Structure 1
């Protein structure tokens, strides 16, 4: 969660993984914009890339962080794109293992402009949720629809629709929230956030440090390009 000693170690070129954006970063509170498969995207701090390149790097970033989903705002890109995976078993039961997560992937999802329609009225609160942008904080009781229908565009530009239930439905809803500037703590009583105030302040400070490094790198890059 800490920022590197020099910006050059983190930014530039086409990265293997993206640095995460943390709680307190304004990009996590913006409503993301729709995108097209043919768009060229520029993650702040890096070269412009195709949507497919960004999606591939998002998946690598998610695996590196041992996650099940990652939305574009979490890498500083305010577009309506997220990636997610189904694993062979419960990732929570394997937390901390050295085994590469890719070896246990059943299916990968890359979704552009997703739209979710709940298929039941009753909300499920039985799963624990966390967030890669709020590291170390987990809570049960986040109300989510148990079954959903989700429509989206894939990387080939094909419009697709599928149904998901239980944990996968929760993952999709969590990631879609990110595209609307909503974090999972927002869906819990205010006192839950208050209970984590000290940890959240530390995460916010890490976010400020990261943005300061990004700003310094962009300033140096601009000066070099205009010499």
Structure 2
């Protein structure tokens, strides 16, 4: 998830080895519509196009990717990995609008969250529509009125394999719900009337084309990598 005051910057497109950040999967990519599978802290994961990593290494790189994209949350399907994992952060609010926008986002972090197999439950079923919402996989599109539960509890497994439960409300609750949606193949536009998506049709077509280009580049890299392995 991205926030309106943190405009996203495109990640560089490169594959191979251990990445500093991951390329972002964009609207139109089939992985964003798949239901993600559960995982364990001891699993070895392989983001398409990169070397295998531990869950902790993937989570750390996801956080770096999220900071690079100036987001507040990132789910594993958004990097092409259909597992039930997301990261999120709380940032310190600046006293004045736009103050500190040039500072590294890490300097504004109050708390980081890494959640494996999260389950979100309503503590207050009354829906809140008061925040604008955006998504790192749908860059440049923001909408008001996305209905989210105002208060939730989230049960999850941490990186140490321990079960945890926490409560969140207002904006943080929205972030957790947004990221959990990604694990079930849902996007924030799905919660709005179809006319909203239609209003963004031109922008979404451009994003879909960028997604197709990315997948073509990844397929080409995979094929050449296979050839190199057989030399």
* Aligned-pair CA distance for 1:95: 9.3
TM-score by length of 2: 0.93
Residue 29 of structure 1, aligned match among 29, 33, 50: 33
Q: Tell me the residue number matched to 2:72.
A: 68
Pair 146,73 (structure 1): closer, same or farther in 2 beyond 3 Å: same
Residue 51 of structure 1, aligned match among 34, 51, 55: 55
- The whole-number CA distance in structure 2 between the counterparts of 1:185 and 1:63 is 23
* Aligned-pair CA distance for 1:98: 2.2
- The whole-number CA distance in structure 2 between the counterparts of 1:100 and 1:2 is 16
| Count of aligned pairs | 221
- The whole-number CA distance in structure 2 between the counterparts of 1:154 and 1:80 is 12
Gaps of 5+ in 1: none
Residue 147 of structure 1, aligned match among 146, 151, 159: 151
Q: Pairwise CA RMSD of aligned residues?
A: 1.6
* Aligned-pair CA distance for 1:66: 0.4
Residue 106 of structure 1, aligned match among 100, 105, 110: 110
Which residues in structure 2 correspond to 1:126-165 (within 5 Å)?
126-165=130-169
Contact 1:85/1:108 (<8 A) preserved: yes
TM-score by length of 1: 0.94
Q: Tell me the residue number matched to 1:14.
A: 18
Pair 96,139 (structure 1): closer, same or farther in 2 beyond 3 Å: farther
Gaps of 5+ in 2: 1-8
* Aligned-pair CA distance for 1:121: 1.8
- The whole-number CA distance in structure 1 between the counterparts of 2:135 and 2:100 is 16
Residue 196 of structure 2, aligned match among 175, 192, 214: 192
Q: Deviations over 1:116-169 (max 9, x none)?
A: 110112100000000000000000110000000100000111100000000000
Contact 2:11/2:24 (<8 A) preserved: no
- The whole-number CA distance in structure 1 between the counterparts of 2:98 and 2:226 is 44
Q: Deviations over 1:25-47 (max 9, x none)?
A: 00000000000000000000000
SS of residue paired to 1:121 = strand
Q: Deviations over 1:162-186 (max 9, x none)?
A: 0000000000000000000000000
Pair 59,95 (structure 1): closer, same or farther in 2 beyond 3 Å: farther
Pair 3,145 (structure 1): closer, same or farther in 2 beyond 3 Å: closer
